[in-house]
Amino acid sequence: MMMLTLAWITLPLFVGFSIYLLPKLARVLAVAVSLVSLAYGLWHVVYSDPVVLSLVDSFGVSLLVDQLSGFFVLTNAVVTAAVVLYCWQSDKSAFFYTQAIILHGSVNSVFICADLISVYVALEVIGIAAFLLIAYPRTNRAVWVGLRYLFVSNTAMLFYLLGTVLVYQANHSFAFTALVGAPVEAIALIFLGLLSKGGIFVSGLWLPPTHGEAESPVSALLSGVVVKAGVFPLLRFSLMMPEFDPVVRFFGVTTALFGVSFAVFAVDTKRILAWSTVSQLGLILAAPMVGGFYALTHGLAKASLFLTVGKLPSRDIEILKSNQIATKLWIALAMASLSISGLPLFSGFGAKVLTGDNLLPWQTVWLNIATLGTTILFAKFIFLPHTHGKQSVEMVDNSSAELSGFWLSIGLLIGGLVLANVFYLEAYTFKNIAKPLITLALGWLIYWLLFQNLSIKLPRVAEQFDNLIGAMSLVLIFLFWMVMA
Amino acid sequence: MFTLEALLLATVFCGFFGIIWKKNLMMKIISMDVMSTGVIAFYVLVAAHTGLFTPIAIPGSRADVAYADPVPQAVILTAIVIGFSIQALMLVGVMKLSRDNPTLECREIERNNS
C-alpha cells in the first residue's frame, strides 16, 4: 500500500512536467491521471482502512489516508476530469494542462498530509499553480486578479509558517497532534493561514472576485476543489483533537450564514455561485465528521454550475431573466441547483441529511436558515425562463464540436451526483425526505414573494485589495481571543 | 533572546502593515519580502535555542558541543525557495501590468480592472 500511495502522489508531478514535453498527448495524459486518482479515492472510500505512513524519520513527512481523504480525492479526480473534458476541443495549450495536473497533484497531497510542513508546501504549490491558471488569458485583468490571489494566499501562508515554528518550539514536532500543547498564538496563526486560504468568513472576501473573474473551467477547479484544500486541515484538526472542534464548528456556522447572505443579493451569476461556495464551505466545516461526503456533492454540483454558467449568453441575472435560455442548458443548471438545494434523488440530499444528523443542538437553527437561504439563491437559476425553439439566445460558442466536450463533462458531473447516492442510501426515509421538500417549497415561496424583483447593490469596498489583507489582522485578533477563551 | 524575538516579530508586522499601507504595487511586494525575511529569521532563531554550532557530525568530533537544531533550518530552506519563486512570479505579473499602468498605483490598477 505504501508504494502504491507514493506512486500515486508523485504521478501527477511526473505527468505534469512530461505533458510539457509531449504536448500532443496533453489531454489524454491529464484525463488518465485523474482516472488514477478516481480509482485511488474510490478504493479508500469503500475500504475505509486508514493508511498511516511516516517517511524518512520522525521529522520526515507523515501521511494519513482514510475515508475522509478518500472523499476529497474523489472530488478532486472527478472535477479535474470534467474540466479537462470541457477544455478538450478548445485551443488551450499544453501549459494549461501542465498547470491543471500539477494543481491536481498538489491538492491531492494536502488531502493525505498529516504534518504541518508538508501541508505548507502543498498549499504554496497550489497557490502558484492556481495563479498561473487564473492568469492564463494574459489579459491585464486576469493578471491582476491572479496577483491579488497570490498576494493574499502568500501572506496567509507566512502567518501559517510563523505559527508552525511556534508549535515546533513548544513540542519539537511538526505533526498535527503537536498542536495540542502549543501556545495560543501558534494556534491562532495557523488557523488564520488556513481560514484565509480556504476562503472562510471575513478572511474569505477574496474568494468571490477571484472565482467570479477567472475563466469558467478555472472557476470550476477553484470552487470545486482548490478551496477545499484550505478547509481539509481544519477538518483533520477537529477530528484528531476534540478541543478544536468548537472553533471549527463555530466558523462553519458563521461562514454558512455570511456567504449565503451575500449570495442572495448578488446579481452576477458567477458571483452568486462564488458566494454560495463560501457558504457551502461553512456547511462542510459545521459537521467535521461527515464533511467529506458534503465536499464531494458540493464539488460536483458547483463545478457543473460554473461550467454551465460559462455557456450562458450573459452574466447578469437580470438580462437572463428577460431573455430565454436554451432548455438543454437550463436542465443542466436546474439539476445541479436542485442537488445543492438538497432535493431527494440527488446526493446533495444525502449529504444534507448526514450533516444535519451530526450537528450540535446550537448549530441546527442557524444551519437551517443557511439551507433555506441556499434554496432561495438557487431559485434564481431554477426559475430562469427557457425555450426549445430557435428564438432562444444563441449560446456563446455554438460549434457543435466544442459542445460535445461540454456535455460529456456535465454528464460526468451530474452522473456523479446521482451515483454518489450509493454512499448513503439510508438517508431515504419518509421523515428525511419531507424536510428538504418543505424547505424547498418555503424557499421558493420567499423567492417569489420577496427576492424576485428585489435588487440591492451591496458595496464592494470590502473586496478592495488593502481591505482583504486588513481583514486578516482582524481575524487574527478574533482567533486569538477565541482560542484564549 | 527575548529582545531578538521581539525584534523579529516587529519585522514581520512591519512587512505586514507595509502590504496594507504602501500604495505602490512594487512596494507591496517588497513589504511581503520583509515579512518573509522576518519569518525566516524567526526559524533560525528557534534553531539557535539549543546552541550555535553548525550541526555537522565529523568523525572524531566532540559530542558535548552545543549544536544548533538542524530541523527548523532544513524546513525553512524549503520555505525560502518557495518564497523566492513566488516573488519572481509576482514580479513578472507586475511587469505585465506596468505596460498599461506605469505608476503601479494599486488603487489605479484596481479601478482599471474591475
Given an 8 Å threshold on Cβ–Cβ distance, is A466 in contact with B20?
yes
ipTM of model = 0.95
For B111, name the nearest residue in chain A, comparing CA atoms only: A464
In a domain, A473, yes or no: no
B-contacting residues in A 73-132 (Cβ below 8 Å): 117, 120-121, 124-125, 127-128, 131-132
In a domain, A250, yes or no: no
> Cα-flanking dihedrals φ and ψ of residue A115, to 5°?
-135, 155
B8 contacts chain A (CB < 8 A): no
In a domain, A410, yes or no: yes
What is the percent of chain B with per-residue pLDDT over 90, rounded to a whole number? 61
In a domain, A289, yes or no: yes
A163 contacts chain B (CB < 8 A): no
Residue ranges of domains in chain B, CATH in brackets: 2-112 (1.10.287)
For B101, name the nearest residue in chain A, comparing CA atoms only: A140
Distance CA A182, CA A170 (A): 6
A325-326 and A386-387: which strand pairing? parallel
Chosen from B1, B71, B105 to mutate, greatest number of chain A CBs within 10 A: B71
Residues contacting residue B51 through CB under 8 Å, at least 6 positions apart = B65, B66, B67, B68
Which residues in chain B touch residue A466, judged by CB atoms under 8 angstroms apart? 20-21, 106
A138 contacts chain B (CB < 8 A): yes
For B78, name the nearest residue in chain A, comparing CA atoms only: A121
> Cα-flanking dihedrals φ and ψ of residue A205, to 5°?
-65, -20
Which residues in chain A touch residue B110, judged by CB atoms under 8 angstroms apart? 144, 464-465
Predicted local distance difference test score (pLDDT) of residue A391: 47
Q: Which domain holds residue A298?
A: 263-454
Low-confidence residues of chain A: pLDDT under 70: 389-402, 455
Q: What is the DSSP string of A379-402?
A: HHHHT--EESSTTSPPPS---HHH
Chosen from B43, B94, B105 to mutate, greatest number of chain A CBs within 10 A: B43
In a domain, A406, yes or no: yes
Paired strand residues for A268: A316
Predicted local distance difference test score (pLDDT) of residue A392: 47
Predicted local distance difference test score (pLDDT) of residue A423: 86
What number of other Cβ atoms are within 10 A of residue B74's Cβ? 14
Asked whether the whole model's pTM tops 0.90, one would answer: yes
Among the partner-chain residues B19, B72, B109, the one whose CB lies closest to the CB of A144 is B109
Predicted local distance difference test score (pLDDT) of residue A111: 95
* Torsion angle of C-alpha atoms B44, B48, B52, B56, degrees rounded to 10: -70
In a domain, A105, yes or no: no
Describe the crossing of helices B25-47 and A140-171 by its angle, rounded to 10 degrees. Answer: 20
In a domain, A189, yes or no: no
Among the partner-chain residues A117, A169, A470, the one whose CB lies closest to the CB of B20 is A470
Domain count, chain A: 1
Low-confidence residues of chain B: pLDDT under 70: none
Among the partner-chain residues A124, A138, A460, the one whose CB lies closest to the CB of B82 is A124
A208 contacts chain B (CB < 8 A): no
Distance from CA of B56 to the nearest CA of A (A): 17
Residues contacting residue A422 through CB under 8 Å, at least 6 positions apart = none
B91 contacts chain A (CB < 8 A): no
Question: Residues in chain B, how many?
Answer: 114
In a domain, A49, yes or no: no
Residues contacting residue B47 through CB under 8 Å, at least 6 positions apart = B68, B69, B70, B71, B72, B73
